[in-house]
Structure 1
C-alpha cells in the first residue's frame, strides 16, 4: 500500500481528484447545507474556514496515506459536485471505511454509483484492500440503496450510536469484500 501515487480517477462523466484550496467555496456550499448534512455525524459547516481546514487536513492525510479524499468533479464543466473518501484505513487488516457526500442538485443522477465504482476499484486494485465498510444512519434510505447497488451488504445495527446537535441516531453497518466486487 505505501507509495500509491495520488492520481485522478476518471469515468465517463466524472473525475475524482484530490481536493485543492480552490475547492473551498464549492465544498462549503455543499457541506453547510442542512439537507446534505441531515445524516452526518457532524453538524453543517458554519464558516468557509471549515472548508479550508478540511482541505488542509485531507491533503496532509493523503500525503501520509492515512486517508484518500477525492473531489467528485464533472468531467465536462469541472464543477465540484461533492467528495468521496477512504478513511480509517487499517493496512494490517487491509480494510477501510468508505464515504460519500454530494450536493443536493446532483442527487438521483447516478453520480454516487459512478464515483463509487471508481473508488472501489482504486481501493481493491491500487491499495490492495480486502474489505470496505460503511456506516450510515438507517433512516438515510438513499445511501442504503446506493451502497447496496455497489454490492455492499448490511451487516450490523448499532442503536443510539451518535448524538449530533442533541439528536440521537442509530447506525447501520455495511460491508463489501474484495472477492464480491465485480468490475
Structure 2
C-alpha cells in the first residue's frame, strides 16, 4: 500500500516515525482524561515506549495491507495533533473502518472532519474501497458530531459492536461510500 503523506486543508497525515514517540505520548497524556472512557489504552502515564510499540504495530498493518495509520500534524509547524487511520481493511468485499483522535488542545478546530474526508478520499481512490465505516460508541457525542460533519450517513445502532475496557458496548454505525 502507498504510504505517501496525505494533505487535509492545513494538515499533514503521514506514517509515524520513531522521532514522533515523545510528542505522541505527550498528546495522549494531555488528552487521557477525555479519551480514556472511549479509548482505554490512553492513560495519564502513557510513555514514549508505548508509542513506539504502537508505531511498530502500525508498520505491521501497513506491511500486511490491513491498515494505514497516520500521525496528524499541522502542515506549517509540524506540531503533533493526533492520530487517525483506515484499519480492518477488507479487500474483498472492499471496505474498512476509519478511526481518529485529536489531542485535547487541538479540539474544536474541525481537525477530525478534515482528516475523515482525506482518509475517505484515500480509501475510495488509491485503495479502491467501496465502503468506509465509522463506529462510534453510544455516548461519544464528539465523535458522532465528527462523523456527521464529515458527511457520513448514520445507519443505526449496532448492539455489542465494540468492546471497551473488556466490556461489550453498543455503537452508532456511520458509513461513507463513493
Q: Residue 12 of structure 2 contacts residue 74 of structure 2 at CA under 8 Å; is this kept in 1?
A: yes
Distance 1:12 1:92, change over 3 A: same
Any residues of structure 2 matched to 1:142-157 within 5 Å, and which? 142-157=142-157
Per the alignment, residue 44 of structure 1 pairs with: 42
TM-score (norm. length: structure 2):
0.88
Is 1:76 paired with 2:76? yes
Task: Tell me by how many angstroms 1:11 deviates.
Answer: 3.1
- Pairs aligned (count): 174
Q: Which runs of 4+ in 1 moved over 6 A?
A: none
Task: Tell me by how many angstroms 1:161 deviates.
Answer: 4.8
Ranges in structure 1 where 5+ consecutive residues have no aligned partner: 179-183
Is 1:9 paired with 2:6? yes
Ranges in structure 2 where 5+ consecutive residues have no aligned partner: none
Distance 1:95 1:165, change over 3 A: closer
Per the alignment, residue 24 of structure 1 pairs with: 21
Q: Residue 27 of structure 1 contacts residue 51 of structure 1 at CA under 8 Å; is this kept in 2?
A: yes
Other structure's SS at 1:143 match:
helix
Other structure's SS at 2:158 match:
strand
Q: For 1:66 and 1:157, how far apart are their aligned partners in 2? A: 25
Task: Tell me by how many angstroms 1:64 deviates.
Answer: 2.3
Q: How large is the RMSD of aligned CA atoms in angstroms?
A: 1.9
Task: Tell me by how many angstroms 1:163 deviates.
Answer: 5.4
Distance 1:39 1:76, change over 3 A: same
Task: Tell me by how many angstroms 1:49 deviates.
Answer: 2.1
Task: Tell me by how many angstroms 1:153 deviates.
Answer: 1.6
Task: Tell me by how many angstroms 1:63 deviates.
Answer: 2.2
TM-score (norm. length: structure 1):
0.86
Q: For 1:8 and 1:162, how far apart are their aligned partners in 2? A: 29
